[in-house]
Each structure stands twice: as structure tokens, then as C-alpha cells.
Structure 1
Amino acid sequence: MKLRTAIKGLDVSTILHPDDKSTMDTLRKIPGFKTIVDKTVGSIMEKYAAIEYSAEGINVTTTSLPNVHRYVVECCRMLDIKNVPACSTDWDYDICSFSVGEEKPRIILQSGTIDLLTPDELYFMIGHELGHMKCGHKSYHMFTEAMYMPLANSDLKIWMSLVKMPLLNWYRVSDFSADRIGLLCCQDINVALSTMIKMAGLPKKCYNQIHIKSFIEQTIVFRQNNSGAMERIIKYLSINAAAMPWMVMRAGELWDWYNSGEYDRIIKQSKNYK
């Protein structure tokens, strides 16, 4: 694995995607909202995750899965995160990860993620989840996820319908910010994009044929060919209920940010940090 520069002195607000920052600023202005979420929904979901994934998965420790544990610890060091989150595996042969918790955070890595990604790509994947934590997303993520629980569809159904879609849209956009942190963790745009290509469905037998340029060209063509009114409506209806943005959209957003010069500025700043 390559030699990386530990990220120091990072102002997270400068990392956030504009649509992410706008929503986060609005949510933070609601008096006491975050505290209430953390003490109710957040607390319950943290306890649930601790029980669920300790019972069904494998807790990642220095003895159970030392290599994976080392990656988590090193990613935290890279991103200047002092509170190393708990980490568990979950059986599913997909390339997927997620995280739960604010006070007691936990990262869950599916088995396929560990098997199908290279160590460098795991840095991007773990860095992405740590990015959600570093950006302050998790309290609001848990609140959004609670909107889809059975209780939220009972007597509160009408009120919930007014906030579900805007929050779910933000939930997807928050991935754009977390991808930027993931890139700062792995520090190789080709590694970040190869991870996304695998997540987009690249067959395992083709892993030695990853073509970054073709995928970037796909993002450009997608934007150019789907910008009309009807295409925008179809895109909206297609993505509307999804929990994550399309991989082509994520790749395009990350590629734009990388080429904006912000990535190089942050790396340079970290090298000169005192």
C-alpha cells in the first residue's frame, strides 16, 4: 500500500457538497433537534446495532480480524479521528458498507466488501463511512432512517410524508461529501473510482480489466444525454426512493471535486500543518 499524508487541520465545512451543507445548516438551526435525536432514535439504533451485529456478525478486533482492524485504526489516524468506532462484519456477498451511531459509532462491512476489494480500496470504503461521522451526518441519518420504521407510518403518516422525501434526497447527497473524505483517506482517485466501478456491477472475472477512463466517459455521456425535461422527470422518479445515489452520479461528483483543485489543496495543507 502507498505512503499517505495524514489529514490535519481540515475544516470539514469546506468538504461538504453544497446541497449537503445547505441541509445540514438548516437542521442544525432547529433548537435542540440533534440532542433529542441522539437521546431517542440515536440511542435506540446504537443499542440495536451493538446487539444485532455482535449476535449475527463478527466483531472486528486485533484477534478476530487483525488485518481489517488495522485498516480501521489506520483510516482513523489518517483522518485525525480519535474515537475509533466499533466495526463488525455482516454476511452478504455484495460490496457494501454502512455505519450507525453518533455517541457509540459502529461500521458494518459486508463480507463481499472485504473479499472483493483491495486493501487500498478498503481504505476508500472505510474512509467513506468515517467521512459520514466526520461530517456530522450520523444523527440526521438515523432520524431519516427512522422515518421508514413502522411507527413512522402510523398516526404520524401525513406529517412524515412531508419530510421523508426532502430528507431522503439529502441522505443521498451526503454520500457525495463522504466520498470526498474517502478519497482523502485512500489518496488515489483511481482507487476511489475502481471501488465505484466494482460497486456498479463489474464482474469479478473482469477485475483485471478495470478501465477508469471509460467509466468517466460514461458519467459525461450520462449527463449530456439525460438533461431534457422528460429525462429529468424519469431520473427523479427512478432515484426518488433509493437510499444511495447512482454510482455514475457519485463518480461524476467525485471526479469534479478532485479536478477542482480542492483535493490537492487539502493534501498540501496537511503536509505543511504544524
Structure 2
Amino acid sequence: MMATDEDSQRRILTQIAAVAWEHPADRAALNALRRIPGFDLVLRKIFALFGERALRLAFKANAVRTSENQYARVHARLARVCEVLDVEKPPECYISQTPIVNAGAVGFGEPFIVLNSSMLEILSEDEVEAVLGHEVGHILSGHVLYRTLLILVLNLVILRYTLAGLALRPILMALMEWYRKSELSSDRAGLLAVQNPRIAMSALMQLAGGTRGISLDLDEFIAQSDEYRAGGDLLDAVYKVLNVLGQTHPFAVIRVAELRDWIESGEYDRVLSGEYQRRGEKDDRPYHEDLRAAMKGYQEGAREIFDEVDAAVDRLRGRLTDAFKGRKEG
């Protein structure tokens, strides 16, 4: 692939450590996950039953591996992502014939990336590159081990063995809660890979509701994201919590808002300027600091709900008072 002006302007993030883009809620949730009684035992038993070899063979049998000859453009984009994030050996990438627009990274010792074929039909090449950066971010953050566990628990335990599924329900819910947070981290990795906020956010918009041949307006989607976060009453706030309980991914509008928050905080520019932790350097942020940062976010969200409760109570009180006055006057 020939170099372009955009390539020359893109900064190579030499020896960047995953902690540079990891969301504190992701790190705190993962630490909490590891503290669940019996979690390590379940992990060992499931990995004893299934190996990476079986997963890789499944995709070799029923998907197309990218190369210089197969999906060459995707292969080249993945190589560029790995160059920017300073990954010496790019992971294998497979294209699977699937109508759902999605992607994932799976595996144990040598993780690999899977892109659903419909993604290549709906997203632009630049947006696909942001998705590849997102998946490489999962691999570098060590998310893939637990994501693979989640897939195995969902597909091989919950769906086939009901009693075992009930026993593993707490672990499943904890895995899903963590994985929603891990998506916020990898969205940042995707942004760092393409180094263009509009491309990174546009990819999320396409994943939310892109359709072949339809042009979407990113600014309007950003406005929709602001509306979702700010609007609604108490009932809406409750629904927002309930709606994500069964999801592995946060809603796209939330992911766009979180990405904008990270950019506006100045962290994104600091990373691009070279102010980031390198691999091998001691992590100066212990678990309790991640937990405190995560809790701050949760507290702010809870405070918003409490404010909505107060407003809802005031409105209810006003309606009851008006109704009582009306009956009294009548």
C-alpha cells in the first residue's frame, strides 16, 4: 500500500502500553471480576474443555483469512494499525459470512480477529480500520481471554446446559458488566489507531444503524448522543439501566459520548504528543485509584438519577396538589 499524506501525519506510538487508553471502569471491573469466588476454577475448567486450536480450526474451515491476496485492503489496513500501535506481529484476521455488522477478537495464546462480511459492505475502509484498531486494542489489553470465556459460557453452557447456566449466572453477569466497560477502552485504541475522531465516531454510528447505500450524518448522531445522556425522567433513567443488563456492548450513543469525553479531557492529545506509559514501565496507578475513578463516574450517574427522582417527586406533588385543589373548588 502506497504511503499517503495522511499516513505521514499519523504518529507512531512507539512502545505504547495498553494502560494509556484503558478506561478506569474497565480496569476496576476486571479486577472485581477476578475476585469473584470460584471464578479462577471455572476459568480453568472451561479452558480444559476447549482450546484455541478448536476455535482457530473452526474459522479456518468456515471463513476467509486475509492476506496480500485475500481481502488485501483489509490486510493492509490491519498492518497499518499494528504499525501505529507498535505491534510487531499482526494477529491473523478472518472474514466470516455473517449478515450482522460486528467484529471480534478471540483466542487464548494467539488471539485472532474476525470481521463479519456485512461490515465490509456498510463501513468505509477508514471506518473498518478504526474497528481493526479497536480489536487490536482488545488484544493488547488482555481482554481476549475473558471475552472468549464469555462467548463459551454464553454459547456452550447457558444455551445447552440449563442447570449449569443457572449456577454460572453471577459470573456471566459480571463478565457482561466488565465487557461493556472494556468496549470503552478499545474505542480509544481504535481512535489512536486512525487518529481521526470523526472516523472513529462514524464507525460507531455505522455499527448502530448503518445500511447499504444510505449516507448518515455524524453531527446529528452526536446530537442524538447528547440527547440520550441528558434527557428523560426517572422512568427513562431506570429503563437505561435495565436495557443494558443483557448486553455485551454499551449503546453506540454512549460510546460516542464517552469517546468525546476522553478527547475533551485532553488525554487523547497528550497520548499523541508522546505523554503515555511505555511497555515495561511500572504502572503507577494501583487498583484502588482505578476503582476511585470508576466510582466517580458511577456517583455522577447516580447523582443524575437522584436529581431526576427529586424532580419527579416535585412534579407528582404539584399534580396531586392541583388535583386536590380542583376537587375542592368543584
Q: Within 1, Cα distance between the matches of 2:123 and 2:72?
A: 17
Q: How many residues align?
A: 269
Listed as ranges, the matches of 1:19-98 within 5 Å are 19-27=25-33, 37=43, 40-41=46-47, 44=50, 46-98=52-104
Contact kept? 1:219, 1:248, Cα under 8 Å: yes
Q: Within 2, Cα distance between the matches of 1:105 and 1:35?
A: 22
Alpha carbons of structure 1 residues 135 and 35: separation in structure 2 relative to 1, 3 Å: farther
1:180 paired with 2:180, answer: no
Q: Within 2, Cα distance between the matches of 1:33 and 1:212?
A: 41
Letter in 1 for 2:235: M
2:307 aligns to what? none
Gaps of 5+ in 1: none
**1:18 pairs with one of 15, 21, 24:** 24
Shift, 1:161, TM fit: 1.6
Shift, 1:65, TM fit: 2.5
2:108 aligns to what? 102
1:200 paired with 2:205, answer: no
1:137 paired with 2:152, answer: no
Contact kept? 2:34, 2:40, Cα under 8 Å: yes
Alpha carbons of structure 1 residues 6 and 31: separation in structure 2 relative to 1, 3 Å: farther
For 1:128, what is the secondary structure of its paired residue? helix
CA RMSD for the aligned pairs?
Answer: 2.7
Q: Within 2, Cα distance between the matches of 1:134 and 1:53?
A: 21
Contact kept? 1:37, 1:139, Cα under 8 Å: no
Q: Within 2, Cα distance between the matches of 1:144 and 1:7?
A: 30
Deviations 1:167-220 (A, max 9, x none): 21111111110000000001100001111221121333332xx32221111111
Contact kept? 1:239, 1:245, Cα under 8 Å: yes
- Between structure 1 and structure 2, the one with the greater Rg is 2
For 1:156, what is the secondary structure of its paired residue? helix
Alpha carbons of structure 1 residues 249 and 181: separation in structure 2 relative to 1, 3 Å: same
For 2:213, what is the secondary structure of its paired residue? helix
Contact kept? 1:34, 1:139, Cα under 8 Å: no
Moved more, 108-117 or 257-266: 108-117
Q: Within 2, Cα distance between the matches of 1:97 and 1:84?
A: 16
Alpha carbons of structure 1 residues 181 and 245: separation in structure 2 relative to 1, 3 Å: same
Shift, 1:229, TM fit: 3.3
Moved more, 53-62 or 122-131: 53-62
1:166 aligns to what? 174
1:239 aligns to what? 244
**2:124 pairs with one of 114, 118, 122:** 118
Query: TM-score normalized by structure 2?
Result: 0.73
Gaps of 5+ in 2: 279-330
Q: Within 2, Cα distance between the matches of 1:55 and 1:167?
A: 29
**1:189 pairs with one of 197, 214, 220:** 197
Contact kept? 1:9, 1:270, Cα under 8 Å: no
Query: TM-score normalized by structure 1?
Result: 0.87
Shift, 1:30, TM fit: 8.0
2:309 aligns to what? none
Q: Within 2, Cα distance between the matches of 1:38 and 1:101?
A: 15
Contact kept? 1:42, 1:139, Cα under 8 Å: no
Q: Within 2, Cα distance between the matches of 1:71 and 1:202?
A: 21
For 1:10, what is the secondary structure of its paired residue? coil
Letter in 2 for 1:144: L
Deviations 1:93-142 (A, max 9, x none): 44311111131211111112223222221210100100101111111112
Query: Equivalent pairs: percent with the same residue?
Result: 27
**1:265 pairs with one of 270, 273, 280:** 270
1:255 aligns to what? 260
